[in-house]
Amino acid sequence: MAFEGGCLCGAIRYRATGEPSVVCHCHCTMCRRAGGAPVVSWATFAMSDFTILKGEPRRYASSARATRQFCPRCGAQLTFQYNDRAKDEIDITLATFDAPASLPVREHVWASTRLPWVHVDEGLPIRPEPAEPKP
């Protein structure tokens, strides 16, 4: 399968192939601030299956462990990577795919910081949180 997407203004386009290893709703406070949204959804693809077709995202080191990319023209949040896994995998914001519904969300992550008024896809499982600090 090939899944294409891009930012709001169209300056950046990407393609992911294969199947995502994770498709999740993230409730962490950093994703919420980055997106300006109450919950941010992600699909994780192998780095070897991800290609930027057009444009150059801007990188932001959102913590010592992670890097986020966004469109410098329209601000759309596009990717998240743990630095120590950046050669292997990349998380792509589900909402920037051309057909987000083609990648059904499977679970909630970092649900301990879910906003109390967010009631989205409540039937999905909640991933247990690791002891490691949040991204």
Nearer to other proteins by Cβ, of 97 and 131: the residue is: 97
Residue 9 binds other proteins (CB under 8 A): yes
66 binds other proteins (CB under 8 A): no
- For residue 12, state whether it binds other proteins (rule: CB under 8 A): no
C-alpha distances out from residue 77 to 41, 58, 118, 129, Å: 11, 10, 20, 24
Give the one residue of 17, 72, 82, 126 binding other proteins; rule: CB under 8 A. Answer: 72
Candidate residues 101, 128, 132, 133; the one interacting with other proteins per rule CB under 8 A: 101
Which one of 14-22, 45-53, 81-89, 96-104 is the stretch in contact with other proteins (CB under 8 A)? 96-104
Q: Which residue from 3, 16, 23, 25 is in contact with other proteins, where contact means CB under 8 A?
A: 25
Smallest gap from residue 127 Cβ to other proteins (A): 17
Sheet holding 40-46, edge to edge: 58-60, 66-70, 77-82, 89-93, 40-46, 22-26, 107-109
Task: Provide the residue count of the chain.
Answer: 135
Shortest Cβ distance from residue 51 to other proteins (Å)? 18
Asked if residue 96 binds other proteins (CB under 8 A), the reply is yes
Closest listed residue to residue 39, CA positions, set 135, 109, 124, 134? 109
Contacts of 93 (CB under 8 A, 6+ apart): 35, 40, 41, 42, 76, 77, 78, 79
